[in-house]
A = this chain, B = another copy of it.
Amino acid sequence: MNKSIFYHAGCPVCVSAEHDIVNLVGADNVEVVNIGENRVRISEAEKAGVNSVPALVTPNGNTLHINFGASMADVKG
């Protein structure tokens, strides 16, 4: 995995953080995944250690939770 993955759920905190991350890292270097809409990827996010969104999973597999939008329980509920 060479790209980072930014998981979000469409909430205002997520959208703001997405803009910042894309500006900082570069759009070509990050895949943006809305797990509120693309629910099949929720389990993948959880396996990567995502406890809340927005979160950025780095190419080396670390998960950075950014601010706090919604817990995974909220996204699934």
Q: CB distance B4 to A58 under 8 Å?
A: no
Could you say which of B25, B64, B67 contacts A17, with CB atoms under 8 Å apart?
B64
Q: How far is the CA of A4 from the CA of B23 in the complex (A)?
A: 11
Could you say which of B25, B29, B66 contacts A66, with CB atoms under 8 Å apart?
B66
Selected A-B contacts with CB under 8 Å, 22 pairs: A4-B24, A16-B62, A17-B64, A20-B58, A20-B60, A20-B62, A20-B64, A21-B64, A23-B58, A23-B60, A24-B24, A24-B25, A24-B29, A24-B56, A24-B58, A25-B25, A64-B66, A64-B67, A65-B66, A65-B67, A65-B68, A66-B66
Q: How far is the CB of A52 from chain B (nearest CB, A)?
A: 10
